[in-house]
Structure 1
Amino acid sequence: MTELAIGIDGGGTSCRAAVADRNGKIIGRGKAGPANILSDLENSLLNIVESAQEALRDAGLAAEAISSVAAVVGVAGANVTDYGDRIEKALPFAEGRVVTDALIALQGALGDDDGIVGAFGTGSVYNARRNGRLKGVGGWGFVVGDQASGARLGRDLMERSLLAHDGVRPASAITEALMTEYGNDPERIAEFAHSARPTDFARYAPVVFEHAARGDAVAVGIVTDAATAIGESLDALLWPECPSICLLGGLAGAYEPWLSEHYRSRLASPKGDALQGAVELAVKLLNDRLRGAA
Structure 2
Amino acid sequence: MAFFLGVDGGGTNCRAAIADGDGVVLGRGEAGSANIMTDPEKSRVNILAAADAALRAAGLDASFGDLDAVLGLAGANVPAAARRMERDLPFASSRLESDVVIAVKGALGAEDGIVALLGTGSVFAAQEEGIVRTVGGWGFRLSDLGGGARLGQAVLEAALLAHDGLRPRSALLDALVIEAKGPEGLIIFAHSASPADYAALVPRIFGAAAMGDGAAIEVIAKARDDIAAAIDLLSVEGDPPICFVGGVGRLFAEQLARRYAARIREPKGTALDGALAMARGLV
Shift of 1:36: 4.3
Per-residue displacement from partner, 1:85-138 (whole Å, max 9, x unpaired)? 444444443322221222111111111111111111122112212234332222
C-alpha RMSD of matched pairs (Å): 2.6
Task: Check 1:239–1:90 CA distance in 2 against 1; reply closer, same or farther (3 A cut).
Answer: same
- Pick one of 272, 277, 282 that aligns with 2:279: 282
- 1:83-232 to structure 2, matched below 5 A, reads 83-184=81-182, 186-232=183-229
- 1:73-84 to structure 2, matched below 5 A, reads 73-80=71-78, 82-84=80-82
One-letter identity of the residue aligned with 1:207: R
TM norm structure 1 = 0.84
Task: Check 1:259–1:271 CA distance in 2 against 1; reply closer, same or farther (3 A cut).
Answer: same
Shift of 1:192: 3.0
CA distance in 2, matches of 1:183, 1:29: 45
Task: Check 1:146–1:47 CA distance in 2 against 1; reply closer, same or farther (3 A cut).
Answer: farther
CA distance in 1, matches of 2:207, 2:39: 30
Q: Secondary structure at the match of 1:264?
A: coil
Q: Secondary structure at the match of 1:241?
A: coil
Q: Which moved more, 1:144-153 or 1:79-88?
A: 79-88
CA distance in 1, matches of 2:145, 2:162: 22
One-letter identity of the residue aligned with 1:6: L
Contact 2:38–2:75 (8 Å) recurs in 1: no
CA distance in 1, matches of 2:172, 2:211: 11
Gaps in structure 2 of 5+ consecutive residues: none
One-letter identity of the residue aligned with 1:111: G
One-letter identity of the residue aligned with 1:175: L
Aligned to 2:232: 235
Task: Tell whether 2:24 aligns with 1:25.
Answer: yes
Count residues in correspondence: 282
Gaps in structure 1 of 5+ consecutive residues: 286-294
Q: Secondary structure at the match of 1:79?
A: coil
Shift of 1:72: 1.9
CA distance in 1, matches of 2:163, 2:44: 40
TM norm structure 2 = 0.87
CA distance in 2, matches of 1:82, 1:27: 32
- Percent pairwise identity: 46
Task: Check 1:132–1:69 CA distance in 2 against 1; reply closer, same or farther (3 A cut).
Answer: closer
One-letter identity of the residue aligned with 2:268: K
Contact 1:13–1:33 (8 Å) recurs in 2: yes
